[in-house]
Structure 1
Amino acid sequence: MTVLVFGGSSQIGHFLLPRLLARGAPVTALSRHARASQPGLRWLQGSLPDAVPGELPHPSAIVSFGPIGPFAAWLARADFGSEPPRVIATSSMSAETKRASAMPAERAIAQQLRDGEQALAAACARHGAPWTVLRPTLIYGAGLDKSLSSIARRAWRTRVFPLPAARGLRQPVHADDIALAVLAALDCPASAGRILPIGGGERLGAHEMFARVRNTLPHANLPLPLPAWLLHAGQRFAPAKLRGPLARLDADLVADNGELERLLGVTPRPFRPQAEMWFPVKG
């Protein structure tokens, strides 16, 4: 199986590429930045949907971790002849959790994700290519996310860790578990035509999630409690980009892993973070 990976340098790609190579699968990966190739792994520089090199291989499978809309646009124009590839792409649970947001920009993001999923399905139908979309919750594990890793690194520098009085449930998912789900989907014809939510193996309160991140820091840091009244005030007076996240602190942002486990046999791990997870991986 020859695999083409868009977003190979992403946090999920960091875990997927070694697993593909261990299977003996020839891999071509696309990145926006130049990277050195290695045996079995060829790196190309480009970006979706337009700046894609012309020397792409004819793949038996395509995996995409980038924005789903541009990927669908490229896929619709691609020519695979009579042998369409298996297609796996990631979207986001934000397609649902931000659907009813009070912030117009967040509702637009949710709509863009759902439109991208529909465009992907339509492009694959035109090619006769089987497809699967994974919708992850909050991703962590390689220090490349802009949520938990950013919070941990800021607290590492300042030695102050904000702890919001948040009541909503969270279900952070390790990037390697998403990589495992991709591999399982490649081997599972029954997962074709499905949009599968994928969350971590544990649901916990947002306050507890932040506390576990804080406990991974190797030096003493000052906990800074943020009471509910302050968070509610922030929803009115904070910059627009912060109002949505503040409003969701009391909302449950979780996924039902039932179909994922039934179809793919993947059981994501519980949330047991370690300090090295908050710093970007090498290579």
Structure 2
Amino acid sequence: MTVLVFGASSQIGHFLLPRLLASDESVLALSRQPRSVQAGVTWLQGTLPDRVPAVPPLSAIVSFGPLQKLADWLAQASLPDAPRVIATSSMSAETKRDSSVPAERALARQLRDGEAALAAACEWHGCAWTVLRPTLVYGAGLDKSLSPIARRAMRLRLFPLPSGRGLRQPVHADDIAQAVLAALECPAAAGRILPIGGGERLRSGEMFARVRRSLPCATVPLPLPGWLLRLGQRALPPLRGPLSRLDSDLVADNGELQRLLGIHPRPFRPEAAMWQPPR
């Protein structure tokens, strides 16, 4: 089996590549930048959708990048063996659908449009496809949500703790990688969009508190009360969306994931190493 991976240097790709290699798969990985030699992985240099080198017949395509760009490439690619396609979207396709921030509503629409375009391109080729919609992803220090907060707190020795009653369900990137492998082997998952959240739902305030407790150095807690957060929504437009959702539930139903793929993501037990990017 030859698997082509787009976004192999992403946080999910960081965990997927070793798992593919352990399964004796032949791996092609696309990167914008030249990559050092890695046993078992053939790195290709290029970008979606128009700068992808010629590839041999494929048994599977995995993508952690923008769905529309993947769909655009698929529409023009030669895929004689109709490879299985697994891609990630985001639960933001639903949770930001009715956001008060126009840019977030546009993002949700873009994600859903990308999912539809991917499905159409795959069906044109006769490729079975599955889309995974993760919640908040963590685990490799490459995310743009919890890891920057943790690193800033370690640098300043000060940890903001916003109040929030909304539920969160952080999902470890390695659990998503395992779901990708399971989907590759599961015909029943074809043509489905599967939410994937972590194995635990917790209040947003508790999520931040656990991140703080996981840090290797002491930090001073800085509670941010509700009135201050409401003021921040008015004074800082870029933060309006994230702050307004602190009391909203951002979770996923893992029922289909567990029934079809047998994947049971881990609870949220962060460790200090999870906040630093790989070397």
Q: TM-score range by the shorter chain?
A: over 0.9
Q: Which residue among 78, 95, 100 is the counterpart of 1:102?
A: 100
- Could you tell me which residue of structure 2 aligns to residue 179 of structure 1? 177
2:13 maps to 13
Equivalent residue runs for 1:264-279 within 5 Å: 264-279=261-276
Query: 1:58 Cα deviation (Å)?
Result: 1.6
Give a deviation string over 1:175-225, Cα, whole Å, max 9, x none.
Answer: 000000000000000000000000000000000000000001122111000
TM-aligned CA deviation for residue 49 of structure 1: 1.1
TM-score (norm 2): 0.99
Secondary structure of the corresponding residue to residue 154 of structure 1: helix
The alignment partner of 1:250 has SS state of coil
Check conservation: 1:28, 1:57, Cα contact below 8 A.
no
Residue identity in the other structure for 2:179:
A
**Greater mean deviation of Cα atoms: 268-277 or 214-223:** 214-223
Q: How many residues align?
A: 279
2:56 aligned with 1:57: yes
Amino-acid identity (%): 73
1:126 — aligned with what?
124
**Secondary structure of 2:246's match?**
helix
Q: What SS does structure 2 have at the residue aligned with 1:4?
A: strand
The AA in structure 1 aligned to 2:111 is L
Q: Distance in 1 between matches of 2:167 and 2:39?
A: 43
Name the structure 1 match of 2:2. 2
Give the C-alpha shift of residue 248 in structure 1.
0.7
Unaligned 5+ runs, structure 1: none
Aligned AA for 2:31? S
Partner of 1:257: 254
Question: How big is each residue's C-alpha offset from its partner over 1:103-152, in whole Å with a ceiling of 9 and x where there is no partner?
Answer: 00000000000000000000001000000000000000000001000000
Letter of the 1:59 counterpart: L
> What is the aligned-residue RMSD (CA, Å)?
0.8
Query: Which amino acid in structure 2 is aligned with residue 214 of structure 1?
Result: R
Q: Is the 8 A contact 1:98 1:107 kept in 2?
A: yes
1:76-115 equivalences under 5 Å are 76-81=75-80, 83-115=81-113
| Distance (Å, rounded) in 1 between the aligned partners of 2:68 and 2:239 | 25
Please show how residues 143-222 of structure 1 align to structure 2 within 5 Å.
143-222=141-220
**What is the letter of the counterpart of residue 50 of structure 1?**
D
Contact 1:5 1:30 in 2 (8 A): yes
Matched, 1:25 2:31: no
CA contact (8 A) 1:87 1:132 kept: yes
The 2-side partners of 1:266 and 1:199 are apart by 11
Structure 1 partner of 2:65: 66
TM-score when scaled to structure 1?
0.97
Larger displacement relative to structure 2 (100-109 or 44-53):
44-53
Distance 1:86 1:37 in 2: 26
SS at match of 2:177: helix
Q: 2:244: which partner in 1? A: 247
Identify the residue that residue 34 of structure 1 maps to in structure 2. Answer: 34
Partner Cα distance (2:56, 2:75) in 1:
17
Cα deviation for residue 38 of structure 1 reads 2.9
Q: 1:247 & 1:76 partners in 2: Cα distance?
A: 38
CA contact (8 A) 1:93 1:255 kept: yes
CA distance in 2, matches of 1:65, 1:136: 11
Contact 1:136/1:197 (CA < 8 Å) preserved in 2? yes
Provide the rounded CA distance (Å) in 1 between the counterparts of 2:44 and 2:238.
Answer: 34
